[in-house]
Structure 1
Amino acid sequence: MKIALVGYGKMGKAIEEIALNQNHEIVARLEKKPTQENLNGAEVAIEFSTPSTAYENVTACLEIGIPVVCGTTAWLDKLPQVKDICIKYNGGFIYSSNYSLGVNLFFEINKRAAEIMHKYQEYTVHIEEIHHTEKKDAPSGTAITLAEEIIPIYGFDGWKLSYKTNNNLLGIEAKRVHDVPGTHTVIYNSPIDDIEFKHVAHSRKGFAIGALIAAEWLIGKKGIFTMKDVLGF
């Protein structure tokens, strides 16, 4: 598989290491807008850049005809436009807030837990996420995905950046601690006990492996997909 890494920060380098060990070829390492020339014949682009550049990067690849696996978060106000462009150019596109296989299993567990727990009003629910101090967005895209699974089940109006849930808004607490790859906890509190569902990432390796699995799956496909499609959920 010939891969273009669009965004060559910590995630890009983690993906590169695993890809080379799996005998894939990195044909481009970009920190600027992709073009026909600098993509160097890539079969797929894996995009982990910044919230301010993700939209331009993804749309450029789709217009050129390169399928895109995107993991950048905090730009999703423009996701509808990306979907329109993907359809217009008959492209292939996957977005996920987190490509870790374990996190995507956690998403499924989170949804099922919310379906059970919302029937018991003595429990309140909120989310806590912890990441490294270099993370640019808060809350994390993964925390927002967890929230978006809970909100319709509970009938919340939305979420807010807060350590508690009130005013019909689901609370998401975001903490920044040096060198933490990512910890997400969904917490149900009652006066007599607490129930917690937690995912702890030990390194970026899980995210990188999942992104590569998604890229392999996407080649040759047309449409807009998520990790649910990749994993067959």
Structure 2
Amino acid sequence: MSYPLIAPSILAADFANLQRDIEVLNNSEADWIHVDIMDGVFVPNISFGLPVCEAVHRHAKKPLDVHLMIVQPEQYVEAFAKAGATTITVHLEACTHLHRVLQQIRDLGCKAGVALNPHTSVRLLENVLHDLDMILLMSVNPGFGGQKFIEQTLPKTRQLRQMLQEAGSAALIEVDGGIDTSNAAALVEAGAHVLVAGSSVFRAENPADAIIRLKQVGQRAEA
């Protein structure tokens, strides 16, 4: 597989024309569609929930990468699996029994991901590296789109890549927040496999072209 994968976040899409924007992604070089679920409790914002996820799945031709920024995610992972999620990512900070939740996600036939807020150390994942398929590093504080990229994410990505290599884990590293062509290459060089991009895609004059540019910048770094 060629990296990086590009996962445009529909948090930055036009909600009044969501089907149109999903069709744009279907016809683009995007690899996944990133769906941010926010509950107004774990993060200070509310985005959308199960009905929208189900609606996106009906029209999407790309895998749904569902990011649960919610408390007690174990109560909802089954519903999101039924709503069409391919990957379900939960926050370490929201899970008292993380290992159990990861098993639950995999038992539902989905890929299991864990997200870390900017302040959370990757070392906290040492005991579950073989129980997950992806680690999502937040490169902004979760809750809102359009934030500035946190530079500390680069050494954090390198540290995580080294941990995965030493453990022999095949988990992917995904990075989310403030990503555009100015930092995509550095992230791929640091070890990122998946780049989530919202504003830099949907606020571009041509979102499909923006996805191509991100992918090309990252592929040159990977090469």
TM-score computed with the length of structure 1 as normaliser: 0.33
Higher strand share: 1
Higher helix share: 2
Q: Which has the larger radius of gyration?
A: 1
